[in-house]
Structure 1
Amino acid sequence: MLRRLVVASVVFTAACAGQQKPAESADAAAKPLTTEERVRIGNQPAFDVATCFPRELTLPASNQGVLVGAMLTTRPEVLECLVSPENRGPAEKTVASVKTTVTDAGGTHAVTGENLTPAGTQCIQAVVDKLVKPKPLTKGAQPLESTATFEHDTSASATVKFGVNDGSDFSGAVRLAQQGWCDCYANFKEQTPPVLTSHVTLTKGQPVAEVTFDASGSTEGDQLAACLKTKVVAVPAKLATDKLSYPHRFVHFNSGATEAANALPPQLRFFQLEVVRNQRAADAAIAFGSRAAAAESFEAVVAKYQKTKDYKLFDELAGKCNALVEAAQGWVKALEAQQAVDQASVALVQELKTTDAEGWTPVETASQAALTNTQKDLTAAQARADADQKACPKKTYKGK
């Protein structure tokens, strides 16, 4: 099951590859360039507001499934570390590896990687140390090790690059500052904020920008825009030319959302489903590990009973088996939640495919494969839950 765990980045890559803009026509290329085209403004990647509300995990007994799932929950925070150019080296691709070691004294994490700066290593180390706290193993148990890998590619992942032009640099500063604006997102812990469009004007000699926001279409969105405006105007601004005006879009995702993001445009809704799917996959891995731990505990009591034939162990056997059944049912529920997200993704991709078959066909293939794998895991989990239920001992009373 763990080997078939499909993380969101697999489908993300296919989606990004399918969304390349077609080349401009000769007529368009012949037209005079506008100021905005001459000074192309970048550094406006999406922000996952889940990083404002990190998951507080209460982990079951440590094993591979639990560690894999727990580390997967940190993906939004780890990738947020890699948005800043200070945390990455000059290469386009950055790979961070986190090796977790658990003993009877507790768990530790060691961060290494490719193209990571010391600041990047420190950022990721702080994330995993804070968010993933494995339970110690039993006294004398052999150490448990697990390695998680996170990949960041500047062509597909949320990225800020400075030094392009003053407008891009200002937008980059705004994007990096968003992590500190979590008070603005207080009402979006379980839902995805809307896309907001602002208009930024930078003026030579003015240390702050002029900022306005378009109406969002909702009260909550307008309140968010008002809060963000107070933050943006506090970001230091500079401009070498006389004046520059450009739009800055605030695109949001929420890995922790429990409500459907129906207000997002279809393409963004797909990416929103993918970040949620990543968390559902993490839940399924943890639940798989929880069931494995419960099975090990039950089997230990069974072995003790078979050796001693002590009927006084019945209550302990029954309790351990009930815990096993509960854990197995939790595994089933986690996979059902993952399946629901997979089904929604496939349906949405099929809708998008009607407007761009070439671009979305590989995404449909990847999404369908993810759904098929989840369905296989769910079938196996349901069978295991049924078997666990039947394995529980039952008291029988013989008449005199």
Structure 2
Amino acid sequence: MMSRLAITSLLAAAAAGCAGQQQAQTGGAPISKEERLRITNQSPFDVAVCKTQAPALSQPANQGILVGALLASRPQVMECLVDPKSRGTAETTRLVVKTTVNEQGGSHVISGENLTPEGIACVQKLVDTRVPLTPLAKGAAPVESESTFVHEAGNSPSVRFGLNPGSDFSGNVRLAQAQWCDCYAGYETKAPPTLRANVDLKKASATAADITFDSVGTPEGDQLAACLKGKMMAVPVKLEVDELKFPYRFVHFNSHATEPAADLTPELRLLQLDLVRNQRSADAAIAFGNRANAAEAYDAIVAKYQKTKDWKLIDELKSKCRTLVDSAQAWVNSIESQRQVDQSTVDLARELKAKDAAWGDLEAKTQEIIAVTQQDLDTAKQRLAADQGACPKETTEAAPKKKK
């Protein structure tokens, strides 16, 4: 299963290529006059960044838990790379987190391509906080994992300064969103609505002269707009012309959403589904690791029982086997949730293909992914059945079986 988990998503690449996003390009290519006049830096914001509490991880660490924990941190890692200070001049930034845990402790080593010291420091602080590492038991085999994140300036959310004053103001707004999480309270399980702000900048004013939002039509949407307006009014302005007016479009995603993002266009819903799938994949990897730990703990008590034949251990045997079965069921549930997202993606790809045949490739790729997910689900269900069959039923039962 671990070989099938990747930080960069096949669906994300395909969807981004078809849907596109209005963002500034980086790199050394000459900047056209049109690009200098166009307002950029209004890339989507994933409100999952605001979820600072990392998922609880069972101990000891194993590969499944480490891979899942780092995958769950993807929104925060990618947010580090939005800032141009984190990236060099190339369009593609590749970031690798190599994690090692042994009986002395553990470490996350950050490396990659097109990373700046600021970018490395941002990710280092993030993974050290979200994925704490505890020393393994004496004599335990070391555990290693490697996770790769790829940021594409043309497709991934990113900011570039120096194009024009409107883009610079927009870039400062976009970078500040990660500090405006109080505005997004109440959106833990859904993507906030898309908003349009009408920005009026004046040379004589150190901040925006005026900002108005188009009506959202819902109390919570209008409340979000009011909160964001207050934040935007504090963003500094540097303007050489007398006045500049332009719209700012807030596009929101939520990797942790459990509700459909009906507010988004079909193309953006596809990207939203891909972000959700990344988190469901993280859940499945962590559940896989939790089940492995539960199996190891059960094997240990079985070995002790078989050596001592002490029937006083039966209660502990039953308890640890219940934990094993529960963890196996959680693994099954997590893969089923992942498959539901895959099916929603196929359905949406078909909807898009009806309007543009080019989306047929994405539909085919998603069908392939569903087939792989189904294989993982079948494996997990078989393991669950085996775990259930291994549990002791009564104290008169023969010695319980070890798990693998």
The two structures have a TM-score, normalised by structure 1, of 0.91
Residue 29 of structure 2 is matched in structure 1 by: none
CA distance in 1 between partners of 2:395 and 2:389 (Å): 15
Are the aligned partners of 1:8 and 1:275 in contact in 2 as well (CA < 8 Å)? no
SS at match of 1:65: helix
Residue 354 of structure 1 is matched in structure 2 by: 354
Task: Map 1:283-298 to 2 at 5 A.
Answer: 283-298=283-298
CA distance in 2 between partners of 1:111 and 1:37 (Å): 34
1:170/1:313 Cα in 2 relative to 1: closer, same or farther (>3 Å)? same
CA distance in 2 between partners of 1:354 and 1:8 (Å): 27
Task: Map 1:223-234 to 2 at 5 A.
Answer: 223-234=223-234
Are the aligned partners of 1:59 and 1:135 in contact in 2 as well (CA < 8 Å)? no
Residue 159 of structure 2 is matched in structure 1 by: 160
Q: Quote the offset at 1:117 in angstroms.
A: 0.7
Are the aligned partners of 1:109 and 1:129 in contact in 2 as well (CA < 8 Å)? yes
CA distance in 2 between partners of 1:243 and 1:395 (Å): 81
CA distance in 1 between partners of 2:173 and 2:50 (Å): 16
Counterpart of 1:251, as a letter, is V
Residue 91 of structure 2 is matched in structure 1 by: 92
SS at match of 1:54: coil
1:261/1:391 Cα in 2 relative to 1: closer, same or farther (>3 Å)? same
Q: Quote the offset at 1:38 in angstroms.
A: 7.1
Residue 40 of structure 2 is matched in structure 1 by: 42
Counterpart of 1:113, as a letter, is G
Residue 269 of structure 2 is matched in structure 1 by: 269
CA distance in 1 between partners of 2:96 and 2:88 (Å): 15
Moved over 6 A (4+): 35-38
Counterpart of 1:142, as a letter, is A
Counterpart of 2:393, as a letter, is K
Q: Quote the offset at 1:204 in angstroms.
A: 2.7
Query: Aligned-residue CA RMSD in angstroms?
Result: 2.0
CA distance in 2 between partners of 1:397 and 1:212 (Å): 75
CA distance in 2 between partners of 1:37 and 1:109 (Å): 39
CA distance in 2 between partners of 1:367 and 1:54 (Å): 31
Q: Deviations over 1:77-124 (max 9, x none)?
A: 000000000011111111111122222344321212211111111100
Residue 51 of structure 1 is matched in structure 2 by: 49
Structure 1 window deviating more from structure 2 (249-258 vs 362-371): it is: 362-371
Identity rate of aligned residues, in percent?
A: 55
The two structures have a TM-score, normalised by structure 2, of 0.90
Aligned residues: 384
Are the aligned partners of 1:266 and 1:352 in contact in 2 as well (CA < 8 Å)? yes
Counterpart of 1:351, as a letter, is E
Task: Map 1:306-321 to 2 at 5 A.
Answer: 306-321=306-321
SS at match of 2:175: helix
Are the aligned partners of 1:46 and 1:250 in contact in 2 as well (CA < 8 Å)? yes
Q: Deviations over 1:119-149 (max 9, x none)?
A: 1111001111111124432223232221111
- Long gaps (5+) in structure 2: 22-32, 398-404
SS at match of 1:43: coil
Task: Map 1:1-400 to 2 at 5 A.
Answer: 1-5=1-5, 7=7, 9-19=9-19, 39-61=37-59, 62-209=61-208, 210-358=210-358, 360-395=359-394, 397=396
CA distance in 1 between partners of 2:195 and 2:324 (Å): 47
